[in-house]
């Protein structure tokens, strides 16, 4: 088998066999296939696409390139979720403890933030002492101990994906739905859960800004999951405005705790998405109808069992749970600055990516992987899409340790919102479902 022939075959739009795909992934991982050969194949895939069978096969080849988690050590159904990311998306901080409080072990591997979107690992590391780097054995031991663990990627999982993504990033081959789907699902399949719920976000703050593209990605990922023997479904959710009111690491942990403590007085867009995700995760198990699933989610929010699970996880991962039980313990930024409404009217369309970039300018995010982040930096929104504001009233507060960041962040924020005379139409938080 030769790479030249495989590249030619895909360039002609023909489907690759599982043997050819396994050959490519295995040899690229070991270095026997060069970067320039793989780059040529990735571009051919980007231009010619892949069948559902090819996409499933490349996903499993990536899974088999490294370690996988065996969750059969837990005497219970195992669930997992994945979000494609967005501004203010702190749903894992709510949903994971909710599912754990309902009796299902939650072994969640999450990533760091880059660009305008935040990472769950970074948010949790704003809790003093909290650790996210574990061996696979340590990771599973924490889940056994308290029912849940959220960590960075453990062990040598899907090394093929790491190498392929780095190459895609510099060869303009990121925007291929089969490759995106395979990249995401390889990590989910390797993580071992039987039931997988995907939160595919769409809107101007999402990776998939167009709804039709988001639906295609959701369908591709669900098909992969089912093809790999996992019960898989997806919700396509709204990311045309920041989710919740907090943007930034410790600020988002505080807001997630508010949902777990007093969801009725928390930001209702965030509550709605978290409840929908948790209820649909539970529904995937086939044990209850959807209405019962939602009722069970509200129950563990109301009786604070989910809050107790988050506190237990923080303790088990080396953090100080007093920050969860009383969020006033969190350190605050050295400086804050109110952005005032420039006119009377309603908050209209929001450039959500622009708002995320404003938070990044304050120090809440990274432009490059090696950048340091400020855990206390960020934005608290006082008015959101559809809210009426008066000129001169605060619409957002900026937080930073460097006062000089306020001017560029305010400029970017104000460029990213519009104030309109008429109240805009409401938008649903969940647009549609795939596989449910």
Q: Does the active-site annotation cover 122?
A: no
Q: What are phi and psi of 76, to 5 degrees?
A: -165, 165
In this structure, the chain runs to a length of 436
For residues 122 and 112, is the Cβ–Cβ distance under 8 A? yes
How many other CB atoms are found less than 10 A from the CB of residue 287? 11
Task: Find residue 347's DSSP bridge partners.
Answer: 419
Q: Does the active-site annotation cover 112?
A: no
Among residues 10, 82, 188, 309, the one annotated as catalytic is: 82
Q: Does the active-site annotation cover 230?
A: no
| Residue 200 token pair | 């595919």
Give the three-state DSSP class for 107: strand
> How many Cα neighbours within 13 Å face the side chain of 249?
30
For residues 161 and 179, is the Cβ–Cβ distance under 8 A? no
Among residues 10, 112, 123, 168, the one annotated as catalytic is: 168
Q: Give first-to-last CA distance, the chain, whole Å.
A: 41
> How many Cα neighbours within 13 Å face the side chain of 3?
18
Q: Does the active-site annotation cover 161?
A: yes
Tell me the C-alpha distance between 201 and 3, whole Å. 36
Tell me the C-alpha distance between 199 and 362, whole Å. 27
Among residues 161, 199, 269, 351, the one annotated as catalytic is: 161
Residue 241's Cβ-count burial label (10 Å; 0-12, 13-18, 19+) is buried
E-strand ranges in 136-285 read: 148-151, 195-202, 231-238, 246-247
Among residues 65, 92, 126, 183, the one annotated as catalytic is: 183
Tell me the C-alpha distance between 123 and 385, whole Å. 25
Q: Which residues of 141-173 are buried (b: 16+ CB within 10 A; e: fewer)?
A: ebbeebbbbbbbbbbebbbbbbbbeebbeebeb
Q: Does the active-site annotation cover 187?
A: yes
Tell me the C-alpha distance between 326 and 123, whole Å. 17
Tell me the C-alpha distance between 367 and 267, whole Å. 28
Among residues 81, 108, 163, 187, the one annotated as catalytic is: 187
Task: Find residue 378's DSSP bridge partners.
Answer: 399
Q: Annotated active-site positions, please?
A: 82, 161, 168, 183, 187
């Amino acid at each position: 088998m030769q790479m030249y022939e495989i590249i030619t075959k895909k360039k002609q739009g023909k489907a690759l066999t599982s043997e050819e795909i396994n050959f490519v992934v295995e040899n690229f991982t070991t270095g026997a296939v060069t970067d320039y050969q793989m780059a040529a194949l990735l571009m051919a895939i980007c231009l010619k696409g892949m069948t559902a069978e090819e996409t499933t096969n490349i996903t499993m080849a990536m899974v088999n390139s490294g370690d996988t988690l065996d969750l059969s050590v837990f005497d219970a159904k195992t669930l997992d979720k994945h979000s494609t990311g967005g501004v203010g998306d702190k749903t894992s901080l709510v949903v994971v403890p909710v599912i754990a409080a309902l009796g299902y072990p939650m072994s969640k591997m999450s990533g760091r933030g880059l660009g305008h979107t935040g990472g769950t690992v970074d948010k949790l590391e704003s809790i003093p002492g909290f650790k996210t780097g574990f061996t696979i054995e340590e990771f599973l031991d924490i889940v056994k101990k308290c029912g849940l663990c959220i960590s960075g990627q453990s062990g040598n999982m899907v090394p093929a994906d790491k190498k392929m993504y780095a190459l895609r990033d510099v060869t303009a081959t990121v925007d291929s739905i089969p490759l995106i789907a395979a990249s995401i699902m390889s990590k989910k399949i390797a993580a071992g859960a039987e039931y997988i719920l995907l939160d595919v976000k769409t809107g101007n703050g999402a990776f998939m800004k167009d709804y039709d593209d988001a639906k295609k990605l959701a369908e591709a990922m669900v098909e992969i999951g089912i093809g790999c023997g996992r019960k898989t479904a997806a919700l396509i959710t709204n990311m045309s405005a920041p989710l919740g009111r907090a943007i930034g690491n410790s600020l988002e942990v505080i807001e997630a705790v508010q949902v777990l403590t007093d969801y009725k007085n928390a930001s209702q867009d965030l509550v709605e998405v978290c409840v929908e995700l948790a209820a649909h995760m539970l529904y995937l198990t086939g044990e209850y109808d959807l209405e019962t699933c939602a009722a069970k989610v509200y129950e563990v929010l109301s009786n604070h069992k989910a809050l107790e699970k988050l506190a237990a996880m923080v303790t088990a991962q080396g953090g100080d749970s007093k920050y969860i039980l009383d969020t006033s313990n969190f350190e605050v930024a050295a400086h804050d600055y109110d952005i005032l409404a420039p006119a009377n009217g309603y908050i209209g369309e929001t450039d959500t990516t622009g708002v995320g970039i404003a938070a990044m300018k304050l120090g809440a995010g990274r432009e490059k992987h090696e950048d340091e982040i400020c855990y206390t930096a960020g934005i608290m929104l006082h008015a959101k899409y559809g809210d009426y504001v008066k000129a001169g009233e605060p619409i957002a507060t900026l937080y930073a340790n460097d006062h000089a960041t306020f001017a560029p962040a305010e400029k970017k924020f104000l460029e990213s919102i519009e104030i309109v005379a008429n109240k805009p139409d409401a938008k649903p938080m969940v647009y549609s479902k795939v596989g449910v």
